Amino acid sequence: MKFSRRFSFDIVFIAIIHIAGIIGIRLFPELFLKTSFISIVIPLSLFLYRVKPNRKDSILMSLVYIIAFFSEWIGVCFGWLFGDYTYGDSLGFKLDDVPIIIGANWLLLCLVSRELVGKLFSNNFLIIITSSFLMVLIDVLMEPLSNQLDFWSWKNNIIPFSNYVDWFLVAILNQSIFSYLDYKSDMNILLSILDNRSKRKFSSLFQEVPEVESGIKTFSK
């Protein structure tokens, strides 16, 4: 119960932030558009606070950030990845025309998509492929809004198909790195606790019946 309450609080808290952002963009567009990067920082910070990554996980997450940022830098500066596009001012401070928050956005998308897909599959290959497809789908949904929100814009307002292909390839690389993470999500921890409780109940049940317990010990020998 402890974990479900905390998970519910996180969802409600993040939802309130996004709703406030939507209302704020309508009422005070100049102010809220320039602080929209907060909608990335807060959920990511909350997630990292919950899982408390160890040194190994921190290194892997930093590597994902660097790969994502470098990929965007190649795309913005040379057009070799994703296509011909430029970033607006809504995502905050830029380093060589690339918002520094964009790496955190990739990191957040990787973590969230992997968490969701991990509830459906246990096979690591399926998790990598499916979560990468999910990330591309999120990008497809974001593209129509990106120009209006001054996130990024495409040359001649044409989104090349290569954008989605490159998104998928970079996502696969990052998700492959994430397959080495050690952290356990709240759901995994909860399942582990329930599993341990079931084992204890199962063991205590047989201990209450001496004949069965004796038979199990004899069989195990």
Give the whole-angstrom CA distance, residue 163 versus residue 141: 13
Q: Which residue has the higher pLDDT, 52 or 81?
A: 81
Any domain includes 136: yes
pLDDT band, very low/low/confident/very high, at 219 (cuts 50, 70, 90):
very low
Asked whether residue 17 carries a pLDDT value surpassing 70, the answer given is: no
pLDDT band, very low/low/confident/very high, at 22 (cuts 50, 70, 90):
low
Any domain includes 171: yes
Helix axis angle for 38-51 and 101-118, nearest 10°, is: 50
pLDDT band, very low/low/confident/very high, at 202 (cuts 50, 70, 90):
very low
Any domain includes 191: no
What is the residue range of 149's domain?
54-182
Give the whole-angstrom CA distance, residue 55 versus residue 72: 26
Burial class (CB in 10 A: 0-12, 13-18, 19+), 61: buried
pLDDT at 198 (0 to 100): 42
What's the average model confidence in pLDDT over 1-18? 52
Number of domains in the chain: 1
pLDDT band, very low/low/confident/very high, at 102 (cuts 50, 70, 90):
very high
List phi, psi (to 5°) of 152.
-155, 160
Please give the structure tokens belonging to residue 125.
Answer: 């290959």
pLDDT at 63 (0 to 100): 95
Give the whole-angstrom CA distance, residue 146 versus residue 157: 11
Any domain includes 135: yes
Closest by CA to 64, choosing from 178, 167, 163, 168, is: 178
Task: Say which amino acid occupies 48.
Answer: L
What's the average model confidence in pLDDT over 172-179? 93
pLDDT at 201 (0 to 100): 42
pLDDT at 3 (0 to 100): 38
pLDDT at 144 (0 to 100): 83
pTM, entire model: 0.70
pLDDT at 51 (0 to 100): 72
pLDDT at 37 (0 to 100): 67
User: How much is the mean pLDDT over the chain?
Assistant: 76
Give the whole-angstrom CA distance, residue 164 versus residue 82: 7
Any domain includes 204: no
Strands (E), the chain: 85-87, 94-95, 98-99, 152-154
Q: Which residue has the higher pLDDT, 70 or 19?
A: 70
Those residues whose C-beta lies under 8 Å from the C-beta of residue 36, and which sit 6 or more positions away, are 21, 25, 90, 91, 149, 151
Any domain includes 72: yes
Asked whether residue 19 carries a pLDDT value surpassing 50, the answer given is: yes
How many CB atoms within 10 Å of residue 72?
23
Give the whole-angstrom CA distance, residue 22 versus residue 145: 12
> Whose structure tokens read 């920082």?
41
Asked whether residue 107 carries a pLDDT value surpassing 80, the answer given is: yes
User: Are 147 and 157 within 8 A, CB to CB?
Assistant: yes
pLDDT at 44 (0 to 100): 78
What's the average model confidence in pLDDT over 36-48? 74
Which CA distances in Å does 166 have to 27, 29, 74? 36, 31, 12
Any domain includes 34: no
The percentage of the chain sitting over the pLDDT mark of 70, rounded to a whole number, equals 65
pLDDT band, very low/low/confident/very high, at 138 (cuts 50, 70, 90):
confident
Give the largest CA-CA distance in the chain: 80
Any domain includes 49: no
Closest by CA to 82, choosing from 141, 11, 168, is: 168
Asked whether residue 194 carries a pLDDT value surpassing 70, the answer given is: no
